[in-house]
Amino acid sequence: MVDQRHSIGSDMVARYQRATVIGLGMSGYSAVRYLRACGLAVSVLDSRDAPPLAARLAEAFPEVDVRFGAFVDDCLDASTLIVASPGVSLQEPMLQSVRRQGAQIVGDVELFLQANTKPVIAITGSNGKSTVTTLVGEMVAAGGLRPLVAGNIGVPVLDSITDALEFDVAVLELSSFQLETTYHVGAAAAAILNVSEDHMDRYASMGDYVLAKSRILKGAQRAVLPRHDEQLSQITQVAKLLSFELDEPANEDEFGLKRQHDGRWLMQGKKRLMKLGDIALTGLHNVKNVLSAFALTDFLALSLDARVGAVKAFVGLPHRMQTVAVHNRVTWVNDSKATNVGATSTALLSLEQPVIWIAGGQGKGADFSTLADAITDNIQLLVLIGVDGPKIEAALQGRVRMQRAADMSEAVALAAAAAEPGQVVLLSPACASFDMYRGFEHRGAVFAECVQDYIGRGAA
């Protein structure tokens, strides 16, 4: 293969002859494509015996060495560039060992950032980052620029370099896992939308989780942060700080709400942005998401009309407070993307109607007792599913009426039996889904199918 490393790669990549990619998911496969295009010899490790992309890799890159199965300590060479996929913890003994030998361990996002020459808008947070990333992309496009929406959403970031995609602004959703192997984001604008307990099966403490999220601010020209978040209030060493919240902003660097004679308005300082009632999304948490999107795009020369138009047209993403049916005046809402306690608490508090709540799954070490703060008199019944349903039940004993279900079909049946006109049945699990489903999308789709089956049977 022709050595193209100086045409598409970074100076760091040019220092290596070989690379090892750990994890053969979408980002890992994308990294193989990129590294081979840069002229490096590539090896792949995956702890699974048969990774889902193994056949595609063998067909497209038969020259790539592969090693599938349990990791062993001596399978890495410190002289090679090591590219770890987000799902691979840096606490893996083999990575700890090779790091002590001086190995360079990066992720696909770091490789992208080193090769990219366009402005970056970077977004992280425990909840809402996919919604904000997508909305920012819509704002950028509405303003006449070409966005790349990538990272933890959209196309794998390195595909944009390998395939020479044309874009003006990179809008990146970044998870804490991706940020662990990203060392200098250098974003034009970077946001931490919120931080709540999540992935406690991977992090030793909440502090470690917050530190991982905070890596997104390294080198940022502008930081966008929630105004009253105590966990993020210590972040002051940024070039320019923009904040958002639902209260009234005090200056042009603050985004918020203000009640005026003609209703409530989203504001930037004293400047009116748009009417609250013109937002298509449901819930006050989504008002915060919109405010953060305005803050993130403030540095771009986009017309206000274009950005407001994008907000008005944006109806949200599947599995995020998505209404899947209304039957006999009962509204069925799919919030399967709520895979942690913080997301579910936000969902419960954003609804004013009485709620029949379905929750449970893989808890990832979460403290479910914190859900108690979101349980108001509106919560009529909690239907529990999944392997950690009993943990939620124990944590919330005496706070809400509860029933257990063996699967989603039974959960929908129990919810339907309890729901009355004017109420909402909300799937907001506060848990990951892999004990029962392929992912949160699969779980949400099964929920929607069960609801439609229930309606189709003509149930009362």
State the residue for tokens 């069960």: 450
Q: So what's the pLDDT on residue 322?
A: 87
Q: Does residue 131 sit in the same domain as residue 264?
A: yes
Q: Does residue 382 sit in the same domain as residue 403?
A: yes
Last residue of a domain, one of 106, 133, 159: 106
Q: Does residue 72 sit in the same domain as residue 134?
A: no
Q: Is the pLDDT of residue 457 over 60?
A: yes
- Residue 119 backbone dihedrals phi, psi, to 5 degrees: -60, 145
For residues 326 and 132, which has the higher predicted lDDT (pLDDT)?
A: 132
Q: Does residue 99 sit in the same domain as residue 119?
A: no
Q: Rounded distance, CA 226 to CA 194, Å? A: 7
The H-or-E segment that residue 327 falls in is strand 322-327
7-21, 302-316, 386-400: the lowest-pLDDT one: 7-21
Please report which confidence band the pLDDT of residue 199 belongs to, taking 50, 70 and 90 as the band edges: low
Inter-residue contact 244 to 224 (CB < 8 Å) = yes
Instruction: Determine whether 116 is an active site residue.
Output: no
In angstroms, the Cα distances linking 398 to 312, 371, 372, 381, 394 are 42, 13, 10, 12, 9
Instruction: Determine whether 152 is an active site residue.
Output: yes
Q: Does residue 359 sit in the same domain as residue 264?
A: no
Q: Which of 152, 286, 289, 340 is catalytic?
A: 152
Last residue of a domain, one of 106, 140, 161: 106
Q: Does residue 100 sit in the same domain as residue 116?
A: no
Q: Does residue 307 sit in the same domain as residue 183?
A: yes
Q: Does residue 85 sit in the same domain as residue 100?
A: yes
Q: Read off the CATH number of the domain in which 436 is found.
A: 3.90.190.20
Q: Produce one character per residue of 294-305: b if its CB has 16 or more CB atoms within 10 Å, e if not.
A: bbbbbebebeee
Q: Read off the CATH number of the domain in which 23 is found.
A: 3.40.50.720
Total structural domains within the chain: 3
Chain-centroid distance of CA 249 in Å reads: 27
Q: Which domain holds residue 240?
A: 111-313
Q: Which of 199, 285, 337, 391 is catalytic?
A: 199
Please report which confidence band the pLDDT of residue 231 belongs to, taking 50, 70 and 90 as the band edges: confident
Q: How many CA atoms lie within 13 A of 12 on its CB side?
A: 19
Last residue of a domain, one of 313, 339, 370: 313
Q: Which of 116, 127, 129, 286 is catalytic?
A: 129
Q: Does residue 265 sit in the same domain as residue 354?
A: no
State the residue for tokens 């309606």: 455
Q: Is the pLDDT of residue 201 over 90?
A: no
Q: Does residue 183 sit in the same domain as residue 62?
A: no
State the residue for tokens 């001086």: 102
Q: Read off the CATH number of the domain in which 118 is found.
A: 3.40.1190.10
Q: Does residue 349 sit in the same domain as residue 295?
A: no
Nearest-CA neighbor of 309 among 321, 297, 322?
A: 297
- Give mean pLDDT, residues 9-27: 93
Q: So what's the pLDDT on residue 3?
A: 37
Q: Does residue 124 sit in the same domain as residue 225?
A: yes
Q: In what order do the strands lie in the sheet with 41-46?
A: 65-68, 41-46, 18-22, 81-84, 105-106
